[in-house]
Amino acid sequence: MTRTSLFGVYVHIPFCHHKCDYCAFATWVDKNQLIDEYMAALRADIQRTENMPQVDTVFVGGGTPSMVPAQSLVDVISLLPLAQTAEITVECNPDDVTAELMNTYVKGGVNRISMGVQSMVPHVLKTLGRTHQPANVVRAVQAAQDAGIASINLDIIYGAVSESLDDWRHTLEKAIALSPDHVSAYGLTVEPGTALATRPDDYPDDDDQADKYLLANELLESAGLMNYEISNWARSGHECRHNQMYWGQGNYFGFGCAAHSHKDGRRWWNVRTPERYIDCVARGVSTETAGETLDDDTRGREALELALRTREGVPVEALPVAELDDLVEQRGDHAVLTIRGRLLANEISLRLRNK
């Protein structure tokens, strides 16, 4: 368990076509008139940032980054002091993807796309509040591959109340058929303030999600996508370096409204709305709204909790391995979660010993 030296940048794009029922992020569907001002504020904010280290990973998330003009987005990225081998990821909505969009991204250095698929079953998409159709996913992935995007991730979600195990198998099989380099599969969660939170009858079932997780692991690993963090599978060499930076407690700067930053144990986050972000940059004042500094014990504890979720695991002395039966296995001097342990990771993390 070592802290990474990777330095990352996160760029938040808060605009969306439609608010998904499970989404609790800082996103808006009625502020598109601010896009040009917001992108200008991002450029100005980056340009005024002093002493930014060389950037190893960039992740443009949201919201829906593929909504904003492609050239405007790559103009923002171009202002960063990028390492020659930087991983540059942009989240995309399948409905937005065109050959022109992908070609502009590639010319601007984007080498990784994260596609918001969620499901390949129309009635499940409807339950989730998603508006795209499965056919658009196929078309979008093909466009990204044709443009030469080096690494493609598919985000999928399991556990919607309308989703049977066969529905989930269908989504997995259709996703695998697209030959992605990386798949992130997340259990549906109920976040306060979301549309889903107002519908208790639609809450996911823990046992159902456990069955679907096991099926995901079986099919994805059979297809050559190996689990390297509880919710993430990748072909060798396509692990998401930006996520590995987070899990390794690396330093990163966040640009845009509600974006978070971290440097050497201090975390801070920006004002939440695009209007306030634009105003702060225009007035030349800090966009930070609050922050915290972690003491060594808290930071050490978080490091263990993050490492436990990965295939590298934690130092063996950090867990009572003998007491955890088939939930943990020892590999060399590390303790690693078994697949059954992954299902109970939160409970196992309570047994971590930070020394």
Domain limits, the chain: 7-246, 312-349
Its pTM stands at: 0.96
pLDDT band at 19 (very low <50, low <70, confident <90, very high): confident
Asked if pLDDT for residue 3 goes beyond 80, the answer is no
Residues near 320 by beta carbon (within 8 Å), at least 6 away in sequence: 351, 353
Tell me what pLDDT residue 247 has: 95
CA distance 263 to 251: 5
CA distance 181 to 200: 35
Asked if pLDDT for residue 2 goes beyond 70, the answer is no
Q: Which amino acid is at 210?
A: A
pLDDT digits (tens, 9 = 90+) for 44-84: 999 999 999 999 999 999 999 999 999 999 999 999 999 99
pLDDT band at 355 (very low <50, low <70, confident <90, very high): low
Helix (H, G, I), strand (E, B) or coil at 59: strand
Mean pLDDT of 120-148: 94
| Long-range contacts of the stretch 128-131 (C-beta < 8 A, 24+) | 128/20, 128/21, 128/22, 128/157, 128/160, 128/188, 129/18, 129/19, 129/20, 129/21, 129/22, 129/195, 129/196, 130/18, 130/20, 131/17, 131/18, 131/95
Max mean pLDDT range (16-20, 79-83, 133-137): 79-83
Mean pLDDT of 240-247: 97
Tell me what pLDDT residue 21 has: 86
Separate counts of helices (H) and strands (E) for the chain? 12, 15
> Strand pairing of 226-229 and 232-234?
antiparallel
The fold of the 7-246 domain, in CATH, is TIM Barrel (3.20.20)
* CA distance readout (Å), 173 to 49, 125, 270: 45, 16, 40
Q: Which of 43-52, 110-119, 189-198 has the lowest mean pLDDT?
A: 189-198
Asked if pLDDT for residue 1 goes beyond 60, the answer is no
First to last CA, the chain: 13
